[in-house]
Amino acid sequence: MLAIQFIRNNRDLIIEAQKKRNFNVEKIIDNIIKLDTLKRVKQTELENKLAKANIIAKEIGALYKAGDEKKVSYLKKESSALKTSTKIIQDKLTKIGNEILELRTKIPNIPNENVPHGESEKDNEEIFKSDIFINIPKNAIPHWELAKKYDIIDFDLGSKISGSGFPVYKNKGARLQRALINFFLDQNIYAGYNEYQVPHLVNSESGFGTGNLPDKEGQMYHVREDDLYLIPTAEVPLTNIYRNVLLKESDLPICVTGYTPCFRREAGSYGAQVRGLNRLHQFDKVEIVRLETPGKAINALEGMVEHVKKILSALELPYRILKLCGGDLGFTSSLTYDFEIFSAAQERWLEISSVSIFNDFQSQRLNLKYKTKQGVKQHVYTLNGSALALPRVVAGLLENFQTNEGIIIPKALIPYTGFDIIS
């Protein structure tokens, strides 16, 4: 959400910047500015009346003490009349305020100047590609077949228990999951992130805070009876730790990490592209979240990218980094790097991490500020990234490291799995 003062003072800049998203916000912006002007006029009007009412109330108090009953009843009438008219203005003001808020939530974040132009994922800019050196057998098979062959992931069983998109991991498959989670968490902790265990169900305030509500309402599982949402990512609870918080500048940066399952409805996704582990309703992910001062945020983003690179290198997986174009950029993000690993058996790239900077877009919604050394309050810049999402990493490990003898576990992971081959 953009600050109202910012919108007021940067009309043309915002309209121009959103063109990168192929989104015309001119109408919305002008509407907001119009409503905001009206709101301020009404507010002044209201405040003047309330000031008068306050004076009268004080007078009445004094008159009671003096015992001047006549004057009291006259003033009471005047005050009552004022009250009726302030109530009307008050309601109007509330209504305008809600309208402005609703309009503001419709404006996506302003794309960073480095975001490339483009319409869709086809226009994303590849900024890094590791050497691809995969030596898989001629009869290489996709992970859903490997999973069956080695009896490590059971998709049918998951369908029976819950439905499609809810796999059951078993035997070495379950242990591999656990190993990856611990490996990722440890890597993050070594890099200075503090580990949290957070709720997997969140309220609507939290959903609004990170920008998932109202924009992505239909993509989250909603428990109606208690009005709670199953988290689509740990970003939601981890970031909302800092909702309605005033930090000191010396508190920053704040770096947190957490493992959670993630739940996504993914309505309407079927077919080969979503086969096996490629797209699920429930999956595991380790997330990193950073809070930074505006001046240091961009460097922090680069640091997060380097961090994810290191993890992928340790897993010996071939990967590339894409800078998302305006058309593919998420609603709340200002700049996003996607990490994709190459699956030799599927002969395609699989997204396994997304690292983003939001500037103050989330902190405006979260009411998250920090006090500078000079005592000025400013909104914090937020960033987050996956480090990492499990299912496609598992798919990549299975498919790229398959041999005729079995699936070879990367060295870095063996202390966590306790085995070096799945056979």
Site residues, RNA (CB under 7 A): 4-5, 40, 43-44, 46-48, 50-51, 53-54, 56-58, 60-61, 64, 75-76, 79-80, 83, 94, 246, 373, 375, 377
Sequence length of the chain is 423
Cα separation of 131 and 419, whole Å?
27
**Of 85 and 313, which has the nearer Cβ to RNA?**
85
**Of 13 and 246, which has the nearer Cβ to RNA?**
246
CB of 4 to RNA, least distance (A): 6
CB of 43 to RNA, least distance (A): 5
Q: Which among 415, 391, 388, 411 has a CA at the least distance from the CA of 401?
A: 411
CB of 59 to RNA, least distance (A): 8
**Of 45 and 316, which has the nearer Cβ to RNA?**
45
Cα separation of 291 and 351, whole Å?
24
**Of 94 and 114, which has the nearer Cβ to RNA?**
94
Show the CA angle centred on residue 370, arms to residues 187 and 304, nearest 5°: 25
CB of 79 to RNA, least distance (A): 3
Q: Which residues pair with 247 in a beta bridge?
A: 370
**Of 58 and 411, which has the nearer Cβ to RNA?**
58
Alpha helices in 211-293 (DSSP H): 235-240
CB of 375 to RNA, least distance (A): 4
**Of 74 and 190, which has the nearer Cβ to RNA?**
74
Give the list of residues 6+ apart from residue 24 with CB closer than 8 angstroms, or none: 15, 18
Cα separation of 140 and 145, whole Å?
10
CB of 61 to RNA, least distance (A): 3
CB of 332 to RNA, least distance (A): 21
The structure tokens 């490590």 sit at 152
CB of 238 to RNA, least distance (A): 19
The structure tokens 């009411």 sit at 367
**Of 53 and 345, which has the nearer Cβ to RNA?**
53
CB of 35 to RNA, least distance (A): 13
**Of 171 and 367, which has the nearer Cβ to RNA?**
367
The answer to whether 324 touches 338, Cβ cutoff 8 Å, is yes
Q: Which among 341, 352, 413 has a CA at the least distance from the CA of 387?
A: 352
Rg (CA), the chain: 27
The answer to whether 381 touches 359, Cβ cutoff 8 Å, is yes
**What's the sign of the alpha-carbon dihedral 150, 259, 306, 211?**
positive
The answer to whether 409 touches 419, Cβ cutoff 8 Å, is yes
The distance from CA 87 to its chain's CA centroid, rounded to whole angstroms, is: 38
Max alpha carbon distance in the chain (Å)? 103
**Of 50 and 414, which has the nearer Cβ to RNA?**
50
DSSP 41-75: HHHHHHHHHHHHHHHHHHHHHHHHHHT-HHHHHHH
